[in-house]
Amino acid sequence: MERTVVLVAPQGAGKSLLASELKKKFRCTEVVDFSDVDHLIPGALHLAHEDVSVETDAAALVIRCRDRDAVELLLN
């Protein structure tokens, strides 16, 4: 089953570098830059560097990481 996921972490935290592995981990169909879209894409892993709205929290699994170490821990 595919999941809609939003990963929020600061710029430089490795979101894009680890995107392929994170996509597999969360069973998403694609990776998108959340700043490039105005809505959630079902099944996608959305990468964001700014926090998201409450509506997004209700519609997707939102993961907030404060740094690169936290992003890398998601793969363990």
**How far, in Å, CA of 29 to CA of 24, rounded?**
8
* 76 Cβ contact partners less than 8 Å away, ≥ 6 residues apart: none
Count: domains in the chain: 1
Which two tokens mark 23?
Answer: 């996509």
pTM assigned to the model? 0.90
pLDDT given at position 32: 96
Structural domain that includes position 32 = 5-73
pLDDT tens string 8-58:
999 999 999 999 999 999 999 999 998 888 889 999 999 999 988 878 778
The residue among 5 and 55 whose pLDDT is bigger is 5
